Chain A
């Protein structure tokens, strides 16, 4: 089968669905501080990272962990990679752009979000979304720290390359050619 369905519809599938249902309305409800371009790039970047991890450290000859039920690429893997997982980095980048903390404040910000991420990963391990086969939770902390740092760097880079030029409505009426 091209994308296998779950062997059994159990805890891990329910966890993915519930976390998606909880996180998506939050994304639309909470204030947005980043442009659609940054969201698109950040989203693509995190799908890329999730897949990169899965094709390098969760397959032979490394085999550090397994996702969901199969060793195959199943439908819920796609949902996890494309829909569920990128929401957390979205929140990290979005709230970073609210005040853009620097120095020690940025370090604390990254540590706090990495803590949130490993807490969520610990719950997902309990729900058998991930099965560790040599991987350790503390390694995830460092991984998330690096991943979130890269996300923030990338969002700043994209913002620098595509600055939003704000024009007031009054100005645009006065000079429509602008």
Chain B
């Protein structure tokens, strides 16, 4: 029950942080990136867990189920959207690399915590694969964000006859 409360608080903080991000980044881009990050987390998660059976997640109760779902719907996407924002910011390449590893480590730490409390089992999975998974997600998310931003800017001026 304590873990659920922890993730409930983190969920609230994640959504507050996304609200803050909306002041810095285009609202439409934040919404789009939040939705796509969820899609990518879920799709890769299901492929790894159910199709390839590299991890084992067998929630027996609603409590375990929702404790795992909460960060998947809030904390993880929030971290990914913030990282996308940082990658497109004017920060130096070095600080972007530092942030990249910091955020990816935070994402993997969530999973590692679930392994630690016994909600998740890593069968043929490890931290390195975790970095690969989230690197792929952030690559796809950055592509989406870049093209969505272009689309938003194009949308601003339409010449009619």
Contact = CB atoms under 8 A, between A and B. Distances in A.
Contacts of A125: none
B46 A73 contact: yes
Contacts, number: 94
A72 B160 contact: no
Classify chain A's interface size.
35 or more
Interface of A: 1-4, 35-37, 40-41, 44-45, 47-48, 51-52, 55-56, 60-62, 71-73, 78, 154, 158, 161-162, 164-169, 172
A56 B65 CA distance: 9
A45 B33 CA distance: 10
Contacts of A164: 155-156, 158
Contact of A37 (B35, B39, B69, B148): B148
Given A3-B47, A73-B47, A41 B159 contact: no
Closest 9 CB pairs of A and B: A73-B46, A48-B35, A44-B35, A51-B42, A166-B160, A37-B155, A169-B161, A161-B27, A72-B50
Nearest to B42: A51
Interface string B19-60: 000000011100110011011001100110011100000111
Interface of B: 26-28, 31-32, 35-36, 38-39, 42-43, 46-47, 50-52, 58-62, 65, 69, 73, 148, 151-152, 154-161
Given A44-B36, A61-B62, A162 B156 contact: yes
Contacts of B156: 162, 164-165
